Structure 1
Amino acid sequence: MLFYSFFKTLVGQTVTVELKNDLSVVGTLVSVDQFLNIKLDNIKVEHEDQHPHMMSVKNCFIRGSVVRYVHLPPAAIDTALLQDAARRESQQSTATAKA
Structure 2
Amino acid sequence: MLPLTLLRTAQNHPMLVELKNGETFNGHLVSCDNWMNIHLREVICTSRDGDKFVRINECYIRGSTIKYLRIPDEVIDLVKEEHGKKDNKRPQ
- CA distance in 2 between partners of 1:12 and 1:43 (Å): 13
Q: 1:60 corresponds to which residue?
A: 59
**Paired residue type of 1:44:** I
TM-score, with length taken from structure 1: 0.69
Match of 2:35 in 1: 35
Which residue of structure 2 aligns with residue 16 of structure 1?
16
Amino acid paired to 2:16: T
Find the counterpart in structure 1 of residue 4 from structure 2.
Answer: 4
Q: Mark the structure with the bigger radius of gyration.
A: 1
- The answer for the alignment partner of 1:72 in structure 2 is 71
Give the SS at the match of 1:78: helix
- Partner SS, residue 56 of structure 2: coil
More strand per residue: 2
RMSD: 2.7
Percent identity reads 32
Runs of 5+ consecutive residues of structure 1 not aligned to the other structure: 89-99
Q: Is 9-18 or 67-76 further displaced after alignment?
A: 67-76
Gaps in structure 2 of 5+ consecutive residues:
88-92
Runs of 4+ residues deviating >4 angstroms: none
Structure in which a larger fraction of residues adopt helix? 1
State how far apart, in whole Å, the 1-side matches of 2:65 and 2:75 are: 24
